Amino acid sequence: MSGLPAEDQTGTALVDLHCHVLPAVDDGAVSLGEALAMLSEAVDAGICLVVATPHSDRCPPESARAAVAELRAQAAAAGLGVELAVGAECPLDVELMPAWQAGRVLPLAGSAYLLVELRAGFFWSPAVSDLLYRLQLEGAIPVLAHPERIPAVQQDPSLLEPLARSGIVLQVNAGSLLGRYGSRVRRTVETLVERDLAHIVASDAHRVGELCELPRALDRIAELVGQETRQAMIARAQQIARGLPVDLPEPRTRRRRPLLVRWFRR
């Protein structure tokens, strides 16, 4: 069950594919009260489905599934109209491939999409893209979390072009577009959006006050490159939650801006 409206005619149902909402399993919500407050914020933000993505090395699949079932029951009891699904955020390291092959890591909402991250302190190298391609050969569709926070990408966003062309989904953080991580990350994410190297936006929320950034970040994307891209990102997140294939745009070698923005910035 994806938790999405069967017919979302308006295309406005927001899905958050990256969220540390499960209480007391990783560095996300610290208590049930905080988790419920985050879900209440999701409802106010127009989010209909939150995929809980605890760090896979801190929360094994069986614990994540049990925590989602418990939080889902608590949210229903509290009258919160938001659905929860289970996933994980997996570090890109040597243990990931055997874990995927053995079914020991959870993809997003029961799909083939696997949320992966390059941890701080790990450097970008050919081994990273190699691992992503090998995961594809093993049936996974990697979703790379917050590439705008990777120093090598900040220096050279073109590093992401071959990944995007190979069908690897690039997920940027809502907070990056709103300045939560500073100006360097903000500049980088704007470049990625303008070069079609950002395919979906998610909250990566760890605390109250971060889930509500998702609709604001989508508005910022519309400001930067237009409504069409905003809608495409919303639709892609829905498709991923439904386990369906997504269309990824051809990366642009140059930044783009809507005509009016370009004219005013001259």
Residues that bind Fe ion (CB under 5 A): 89, 204
Could you tell me the smallest distance in angstroms from the CB atom of residue 28 to Fe ion?
A: 8
Smallest CA-to-CA distance from 61 within 89, 36, 29 is with 89
Q: What is the residue type of 218? A: L
Could you tell me the smallest distance in angstroms from the CB atom of residue 58 to Fe ion?
A: 11
Q: Are 174 and 211 in contact (CB under 8 A)?
A: no
Could you tell me the smallest distance in angstroms from the CB atom of residue 206 to Fe ion?
A: 7
Sheet holding 83-86, edge to edge: 14-19, 47-52, 83-86
- Please, which residue, 188 or 229, has the CB nearer to Fe ion? 188
Which residues are registered as beta bridge partners of 200? 171
Reduced to 3 states, what is the DSSP secondary structure of residue 121?
A: coil
- Please, which residue, 18 or 220, has the CB nearer to Fe ion? 18
Residue nearest Fe ion (C-beta atom): 204
Could you tell me the smallest distance in angstroms from the CB atom of residue 204 to Fe ion?
A: 4
Could you tell me the smallest distance in angstroms from the CB atom of residue 57 to Fe ion?
A: 12
- Please, which residue, 16 or 194, has the CB nearer to Fe ion? 16
Query: Which residues, 6 or more positions from 229, have their beta carbon under 8 angstroms from its beta carbon?
Result: 193, 196, 221, 222
- Please, which residue, 26 or 190, has the CB nearer to Fe ion? 26
- Please, which residue, 89 or 213, has the CB nearer to Fe ion? 89
Q: Are 123 and 137 in contact (CB under 8 A)?
A: no
Q: Which helix (H) or strand (E) holds 113?
A: strand 113-117
Smallest CA-to-CA distance from 236 within 188, 201, 196 is with 201
